Amino acid sequence: MEQVSPAGGGRARRRTGPVSVLAAMMLTALLLGGAVPYVAGQGRPYLSYLVLAERPDAGGAAAAAAEAEAEGGRVVQDYPQIGAVLVYAQGAFAERLRSRPGIAAVGATRTAAVPGPPRPIGGAGGFAGVLDGTASLESRIGGQTPGSDGSGSADGADAAGDSTATLPDPAERSDWNLDMIGANGAPAGFSALLRTPTGDRAVDRQVPAAPQALRRVLVAVLDSGVDDTHPDLRSAVDPQASVSCADGRPDARFGAWRPDPGVGESGHGTHVAGIVGAARDGHGVTGVAPGVRIAAVRLLGPLGQYYAENIVCGMLWAADHGAKAINDSYFADPWKYNCPEDPDQAALIAAVGRAVAYAQRQGAVVVASAGNDAQDLTAGRDDRRSPNDRMSGPAEDRELGTECIRLPGELPGVMTVSAVDRRGLPASYTNFGRGRISIAAPGGDPDGGSQGAIVSDWPGGQYAALAGTSMAAAHVTGAVAVAAAGHPEWGPDRLIAHLADTAAANCPMLPGGCHDREYYGAGVLDLVSG
């Protein structure tokens, strides 16, 4: 997740304790009957792998599955849209499979082993209707669609087990961020940001797109899950387009997309969804695009990870359900930066890259957070956090070159969003880099409280003030929805160009304005100019 902690935390908090807690969680879950959905293996532990065929289509996926099974792997999900499969295997599986004919790449998606593959379940799931007559893995395994064990909440979510401070109902008053981008109906600008909110704003403020037009637009929030029982989001989340991809397999059972309160910081996705599309009703907060339909796509797994297979699953699901924008406020675990010289990481780059490209071809604008490490993405950098799923011991001390990239934010065509504070200045935590940042948007100050951070929804009908490039990206996703509602004929390239053009006119009243492109990209997001 790309939110930052108060009091100079500066880095995204991804779970509630040190990495050694992962081992304890796994052991406890197994002893208590399997809250972590893995089947016990035969002595040796398993790793998960993404296997990519040379052919990026359904035939390639079938060939990859056959080769993986021949090497002793257990195929649990196919991705026919991109010619890939998800496999659990033991031993030197990847080394053997890389030499097989027709295989383009094989990569372990985790470093922490599990007892076995995930349990299969019956019920809704799979990527139905995308194979043009070619049988999917669903049909090959007798109609059973793998999925999670359903241990998450089925009746809504709350913030139990999470340390995030909540706020009283803000009654749509804490909205400096919407003023900055013109989402309150007035022209965007920075002079209004110096005011002190009075709380007497009219509820029926004009918006750039009518709610009925926005209702025809679907955006996807790929995140920790969304609490669709929240009053601000009840009418926004579309159950027919929502899913859990928490272990790389689509689980479309009702409520599967909701956050698991037992996983730390699982409210993050609800906060992001509120920024995108919370209802305008005089209560709570208002989103950038009130009235838009949201596909809630849960990626966060039971151990607090956003593994590459989860991202692939979510990206393909969102694309196949017609999302015009796909919000990605996270980076792929377990490696903060993936390096093409490493064969495992190269496979993850290729798999997520294929999924992003597929979504773009299907008509989606893919939006991603730039990250909260105050790093120059065009320079060499250090990574002392990876792999972040290790069971024990210190992280590797990696000195990286510019070829190592964040997923999905540094993939071609992705709108990568940096964060600015209430003054329009680059946030102290935001990553930057000329040519790597597409646009800037409000991310807030982690020490600013409700007047300096971004106030949005939190599970259980609550509200929270967070800051980070996660929040900045969500503003851009909402803006894509508004533009798409007004111009349904526009494709991704035209939508991106429109946002870039209007952002160029919305710069802080400071020396140089937005000329510092390494932080601002095209400029600061502007919803109504042009």
Strands 243-244 and 293-298: parallel
Q: Which of 228, 230, 242, 268 is catalytic?
A: 268
Neighbours of 240 (CB within 10 A): 10
What the block records as the tokens of 234 is: 């009840």
- For the record, the structure tokens of 129 come out as 């209707």
At residue 242, φ and ψ (nearest 5 deg) are: -105, 155
Which residues lie across from 92 on neighbouring strands?
none
- Phi/psi region, residue 11 (left: phi>0; alpha: psi -120 to 50; beta: rest), is beta
Which of these, 433, 472, 530, lies nearest to 3 by C-alpha position? 472
C-alpha to C-alpha distance for 299 and 359, rounded to whole angstroms: 16
Name residue 326's beta-bridge partners. Answer: 220, 366
- Which amino acid does the sequence have at 450? S
Q: Are 73 and 87 in contact (CB under 8 A)?
A: yes
Q: CA 357 from chain center: how many Å? A: 16
- Distance from CA of residue 126 to its chain's centroid? 20
For 49-79, give the DSSP string: EEEEESS-SHHHHHHHHHHHHHTT-EEEEEE
Instruction: Looking at 82-184, list the stretches that DSSP marks H as alpha helix, in order from N- to C-terminal side.
Output: 93-97, 137-140, 176-181
Element (H, E) at 145: strand 145-146
* Nearest residue to 274 via CA among 87, 15, 455, 479: 455
Return the C-alpha torsion angle 102, 105, 106, 110, nearest 10: -160
Kindly write down the DSSP assignment for every residue of 391-406, as one continuous string: SSSPPP-EEE-TT-B-
- 215 close to 321: Cβ distance less than 8 angstroms: no
Cα 383 from Cα 108, distance rounded (Å): 19
CA distance 24 to 31: 11
The alpha helices in 182-240, defined as continuous H runs, are: 211-214
Place of tokens 């859990």: 244
Q: What is the DSSP letter of 350?
A: H
Residue closest to 332 by CA, chosen among 414, 433, 250: 414
Mention every residue, 6+ apart, whose C-beta is less than 8 A from residue 501: 522, 530
The C-alpha atoms of residue 417 and residue 73 are separated, in whole angstroms, by 38
Q: Which position among 344, 470, 475, 498 bears the catalytic label?
A: 470
Helix (H) or strand (E) holding 234: none
268 is catalytic: yes
End-to-end CA distance of the chain: 33
What angle (nearest 5°) sits at the alpha carbon of residue 168, between those of residues 162 and 169? 115
Find the catalytic residue in 78, 158, 223, 247. Answer: 223
Catalytic residues: 223, 268, 470
